[in-house]
Amino acid sequence: MNSSRHLNRTLALIAGVLAFVGYARAQQAQQFVQFAGAPCAAPPVLHCPDSDCTADREINQGPVVEMKTRRTYFLDYPCDLKPGEKVTFILSIHGAGSYGNWQRHYFPLLDYVDKYRLVVATPNSPTHVWSNADDEYLQNIVNSIVDQLGKQNVKAFWLVGHSQGGMTSNRLLRTDFFASRVDGWLSLSGGRLGPTPPIPPSFFAAAQPAPGATPAFTAGALGAAMAALRDPPAADFSFIFETGEHELGGQPLPDASPWATKFGCGARVRVADIADTKAGYVYDPTRQNPGSDAWGHLPRPGTAAVMQYPNCKDGRVVADVIRAGKGHTEGLEPKITEQLVQLVLSARGGKIQQLP
């Protein structure tokens, strides 16, 4: 009889402990934001090593499902993100012929989500070239993230685009959906709002694909796309242009910026030279035989000049960044990546918070 009572008390005690542990875990889970279908991981899922990232990892299109189109994407955010915490939301768009995980490591925002409280969505085009057929998918991603964060918690929303992803950002900013939401555009070799030297011929020669690879650019196609976007967008937003020195064909980047003029900024000044002793993560291994300076070689350390148009009205930021000795496809190094993040965070935000 005593043995039976003792067993019952023991079982009751165990049940109580288990219930408390379950409650504690539930309470802990409620302390942090977790996006639907996107459990947070540290280190981030499918993170490349410092060098020699494998091709199968680079071409991964992400584990998060956009439920309306059933297409996938990556979502990186702080694992300790608290409900009600204010964040900067970034949609990072890859270039032609590329993939989401390559873009995540070309401009490695995933390394800075904790420090700077970023939420970064990296989508994928199934054709590897963006068009207006992708707009619904991109809009759905934005709506899903904002709904889960709460629009009042989005300090700023930026588009980041590399190459054709930059041109796509330019096009999106001419649509009502993005024009009413985007606070800034960071163009990574994706077109400048203002005069730019002609792209050197060696860029297009190296851009031709190896047998069986996806075409990236032709001079005619790129010229037509850029011509369609020649007039500036009507929307108001901050603008940062980053490029490799060799993409400019040995010419200086003009001081003139109609976008800086629009916001009454001062004359451009060189505000920093960023020296990186560590290389970026990725490059284009399919076009290295022989490749070209303009297209880009293997990632390596380097320096970058940061030039800004000061005192822009309405808290806007307009800046140009040139990476010395680099071309189109060498992944950005850590310190210049962080400097670009700091420029993004220094700009005015709030458009999404003001939506009805």
The CATH number covering residue 53 comes to 3.40.50
Cβ contacts of residue 333 below 8 Å, gap of 6+?
A: 276, 278, 279, 280, 299, 301, 302, 304
Evaluate whether residue 11 is within a structural domain. no
Tokens coding 162: 């590399």
Is 308's pLDDT higher than 60?
yes
What residue type is assigned to position 38 of the chain? A
The SS3 of residue 338 is helix
- Single out the residue of 339, 327, 331 nearest to residue 243, CA to CA: 327
Torsions phi, psi of 267, nearest 5? -65, 145
Distances in whole angstroms, Cα of residue 252 to Cα of each of 62, 91, 293, 302: 38, 30, 16, 18
Evaluate whether residue 267 is within a structural domain. yes
Evaluate whether residue 10 is within a structural domain. no
Evaluate whether residue 238 is within a structural domain. yes
Evaluate whether residue 4 is within a structural domain. no
Number of domains comprising the chain: 1
Is 23's pLDDT higher than 50?
no
- Mean pLDDT in residue range 164-176: 98
- Mean pLDDT in residue range 174-180: 98
Task: Look up the domain containing 269 and give its range.
Answer: 33-354
Cβ atoms < 10 Å from Cβ of 81 = 22
Contact 166, 91 (CB under 8 A): no
Say what the pLDDT of residue 24 is: 42
Question: Which has the minimum average pLDDT: 58-72, 82-96, 113-127, 194-208?
Answer: 194-208
- Mean pLDDT in residue range 307-325: 98
Could you give the CA distance from residue 348 to residue 249 in angstroms, rounded to a whole number? 33
Contact 182, 351 (CB under 8 A): yes
Q: Calculate what percentage of the chain has a pLDDT beyond 70.
A: 85
Tokens coding 56: 């199968």
Gap between the terminal Cα atoms of the chain: 69
Evaluate whether residue 290 is within a structural domain. yes
Say what the pLDDT of residue 26 is: 44
Tokens coding 41: 């991981």
Say what the pLDDT of residue 13 is: 54
Evaluate whether residue 28 is within a structural domain. no
- Single out the residue of 136, 62, 66, 118 nearest to residue 94, CA to CA: 62
Evaluate whether residue 13 is within a structural domain. no
